[in-house]
Amino acid sequence: MLGPFTRFVRSVQLLPGFIPDRTKHPFTVPAIKHLDVLELHPQVTFFVGENGTGKSTLLEAIAVAAGFNPEGGTKNFKFATKHEEYPLRSCLRLSRGTNREATGFFLRAESFFNVASEIDRIGDGILRSYGGKSLHEQSHGESFMALVNHRFGEHGLYLLDEPEAALSPQRQLALLVAIDRLARFEDCQFIIATHSPIVLAYPHAQLYSFSQTAITPVTYEETEHYLLTRDFLMNKDRYLARLLTDPPPADEPKSPRRGKRKAGS
């Protein structure tokens, strides 16, 4: 198992002197603006928080700083469907362990289609590493699990951005099994940004909560994702009655009224 000094990435540090413009995104995001040194778990680190708090932005910057293709894939993937700047990447210092990863993968749920297209373009030679079947010929969830089961291997560094987007609850449990096998028995390290209370339940992990003020370590039971899901399942009828039956507050904007369709439109 990877120890504290042999993990592939030990910590991430923001270097204030390299920030080009503090008035521009992503340096205006509070969690990024106040980032100092973030210690990473030797097996699994979770980034959790509301949309817009910077967890995917930081994960992407770590991936690019570690040498991965910004749109996803391995370090050998060089494709780009659009030109983007990654200013945060040049402001980060990754503290490395004594070992280096033998393999790795950066998964972005939003650009996985592009990664699958690149694999098809490269051809049969690489396709065997992903199960031998085009990822486009499988459902989103099937293709993602094919990636995990066939491409993810020992001594790997894996960065996953919202992997649950492709997966049913049952497949999320299968992902937990795969993560456990790879992290505990095949010397792999994961950094994962997720909203899933199922994925977050993995026990051998460090959880960081991204808020509008800072990045703070939390326990699983302290995450809003766990608390809200538990409360909703235990009080479903009360939640639904309040959300769907009561009139909206007076200060809540109402849906715009649709105009009448003109004849022939």
Give the pLDDT confidence of 194-238 residue by residue, as tens digits: 999 999 999 999 999 999 889 999 999 999 999 999 999 999 999
Mean pLDDT computed over 48-70: 94
pLDDT score, position 262: 47
pLDDT score, position 260: 47
Are β-strands 37-39 and 9-14 bridged in parallel, bridged antiparallel, or unpaired? antiparallel
> Helix (H, G, I), strand (E, B), or coil: what is residue 44?
strand
Mean pLDDT computed over 252-265: 51
195, two tokens: 């909203």
Q: CA-CA distance, 50 to 52, in Å (whole number)?
A: 6
For 26, residues 6+ apart whose C-beta sits below 8 A from its C-beta are 32, 54, 57, 87, 88
Do the Cβ atoms of 192 and 183 come closer than 8 Å? no
> Letter for the amino acid at 106?
F
Do the Cβ atoms of 202 and 179 come closer than 8 Å? yes
Nearest CA to 15 out of 94, 96, 91 is that of 91
- % residues pLDDT > 70 (the chain): 87
> What is the residue extent of each domain of the chain?
9-218
pLDDT score, position 183: 96
Q: Is the pLDDT of residue 56 over 90?
A: yes
Residue with more model confidence, 192 or 77:
192
Cβ neighbourhood burial of 59 (10 Å; 0-12, 13-18, 19+): buried
Nearest CA to 62 out of 36, 98, 86 is that of 86
Written as one string, the DSSP assignment of 114-139 is: HHHHHHHHH-HHHHGGGTSS-GGGS-
Mean pLDDT computed over 167-180: 96
Tens digits of per-residue pLDDT, 68-97?
988 888 898 877 766 666 789 899 999 999
Do the Cβ atoms of 44 and 202 come closer than 8 Å? yes
Q: Is the pLDDT of residue 255 over 80?
A: no
Mean pLDDT computed over 41-47: 97
pLDDT score, position 21: 92
Tens digits of per-residue pLDDT, 99-152?
899 999 999 877 777 777 777 777 766 777 777 787 788 887 888 898 899 899
CATH architecture of the domain 9-218 equals: 3-Layer(aba) Sandwich (3.40)
User: What stretches of the chain show up as alpha helix (H) in DSSP?
Assistant: 30-33, 55-65, 112-122, 124-127, 140-146, 169-185, 224-234, 236-244
